[in-house]
């Protein structure tokens, strides 16, 4: 393995360490038929050992540095509302920071997304870093697709904690099977979504479990989820990538959030057309 990596590194003029990171992110991570069935049934899945510890430590440094610079001007936590207290949110890092592209455009993660959704290929919709600060608040219940003008439900978010994430740090929690619930799909992230959805999802089982280092979850666009506050003294550093079916079309925006998403993440794409702007590269194709 290491001799092969040395050769790869020499060939591309990169360090062996960088070649190793690139190699890991290109390599397939097998998904079983049982895991695909579980994702379809529950609307999400948590997969262990998707990324190795060294790779995560590298990205924790790279992504952490970018977020620290770009979030430096945020007002203090106590002066922010519920949404602002939930996390520092920096979107589409790959556009301005080429150094994160190996992670954001990783074939390993894109392939898992495609296999779980049972599509032939996936594109990037966008990425975002979601860093819950020490003392940061809860993330209200919501479903992501409220924000997305998409023609089908073949969308998925990879939620990648850059450290082990115990319960006190605010790991993502899911309402199991909630991708089939239609109530509350029009609710944006807010105190209202938290209280109304807590009621409507009352009878569904919840999955609130820690994430080991290397564990990554994948959730469907209509799956309801939230996160608790970060009661620790360390940052909960998380990188996310949202993938869509490579054949996804732009739908008529159904609300203001979808209008601004269409303009921001799908520039130049018209309603009914495939979402294939310069911001939506195919990340993996069968």
Instruction: For the chain, count helices (H), then strands (E).
Output: 10, 11
Q: Does 238 bind ligand AKG (CB under 6 A)?
A: yes
Q: Nearest-CA neighbor of 276 among 93, 144, 111, 122?
A: 122
Contact flags string 266-285 toward ligand AKG, x per CB under 6 A? --------------------
Does residue 206 contact residue 176 with C-beta atoms inside 8 Å? Answer: yes
Q: Does 172 bind ligand AKG (CB under 6 A)?
A: yes
Q: Nearest-CA neighbor of 85 among 194, 186, 204?
A: 194
Q: Does 155 bind ligand AKG (CB under 6 A)?
A: no
Residue closer to ligand AKG, measured from CB, 21 or 110? 110
Q: Nearest-CA neighbor of 213 among 169, 162, 167?
A: 162
Residue closer to ligand AKG, measured from CB, 18 or 91? 91
CB of 15 to ligand AKG, least distance (A): 32
Q: Nearest-CA neighbor of 216 among 243, 192, 190, 198?
A: 243
Residue closer to ligand AKG, measured from CB, 17 or 198? 198
CB of 227 to ligand AKG, least distance (A): 4
CB of 222 to ligand AKG, least distance (A): 11
Q: Nearest-CA neighbor of 279 among 250, 239, 237, 253?
A: 250
Count of beta carbons in the 10 Å neighbourhood of residue 237:
23
Overall residue count recorded for the chain in this entry: 286
Residue closer to ligand AKG, measured from CB, 114 or 189? 189
CA angle 244, 49, 18 (to 5 degrees): 80
Contact flags string 59-88 toward ligand AKG, x per CB under 6 A? ---------------------------xx-
- The size of the interface with ligand AKG (CB under 6 A), counted in residues, is 13
Residue closer to ligand AKG, measured from CB, 39 or 87? 87
**How does 53-86 read in b/e, with b if 16+ C-beta sit within 10 Å?**
eebbebbbebbbebbeebeeeeeeeeeeebeebb
What residues between 183 and 222 interact with ligand AKG by CB under 6 A? none
- Strand, helix or coil for residue 160: strand
Helix (H) or strand (E) holding 105: none
Q: Does 240 bind ligand AKG (CB under 6 A)?
A: yes
Q: Does 139 bind ligand AKG (CB under 6 A)?
A: yes
CB of 286 to ligand AKG, least distance (A): 26
**Residues in the site for ligand AKG, rule: CB under 6 A?**
86-87, 130, 132, 139, 144, 157, 159, 172, 225, 227, 238, 240
């Amino acid at each position: 393995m290491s001799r092969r990596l040395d050769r790869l590194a020499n060939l591309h003029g990169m360090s062996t360490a960088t070649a190793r990171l690139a190699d890991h992110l290109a390599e397939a991570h097998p998904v079983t038929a049982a895991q695909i069935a579980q994702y379809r049934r529950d609307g999400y899945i948590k997969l262990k050992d998707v990324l190795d510890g060294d790779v995560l430590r590298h990205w924790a440094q790279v992504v952490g540095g970018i977020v620290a610079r770009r979030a430096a001007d945020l007002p203090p936590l106590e002066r922010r509302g519920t949404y602002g207290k939930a996390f520092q949110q920096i979107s589409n890092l790959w556009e301005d920071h080429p150094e994160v592209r190996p992670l954001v455009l990783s074939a390993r993660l894109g392939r898992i997304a495609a296999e779980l959704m049972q599509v032939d290929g996936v594109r990037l919709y966008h990425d975002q870093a979601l860093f819950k600060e020490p003392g940061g608040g809860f993330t209200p219940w919501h479903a992501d697709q409220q924000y997305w003008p998409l023609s089908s439900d073949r969308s998925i978010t990879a939620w990648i904690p850059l450290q082990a994430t115990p319960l006190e740090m605010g790991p993502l929690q899911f309402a199991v099977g909630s991708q089939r619930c239609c109530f509350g799909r029009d609710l944006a992230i807010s105190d209202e979504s938290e209280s109304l959805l807590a009621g409507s999802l009352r009878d569904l089982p919840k999955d609130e479990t820690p994430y080991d280092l290397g564990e990554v979850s994948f959730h469907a666009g209509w799956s309801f989820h939230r996160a608790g506050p970060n009661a620790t003294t360390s940052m909960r550093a998380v990188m996310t990538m949202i993938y869509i079916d490579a054949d996804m079309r732009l739908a008529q925006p159904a609300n203001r959030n979808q209008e601004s998403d269409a303009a921001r993440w799908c520039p130049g794409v018209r309603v009914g057309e495939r979402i294939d702007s310069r911001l939506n590269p195919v990340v993996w194709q069968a």
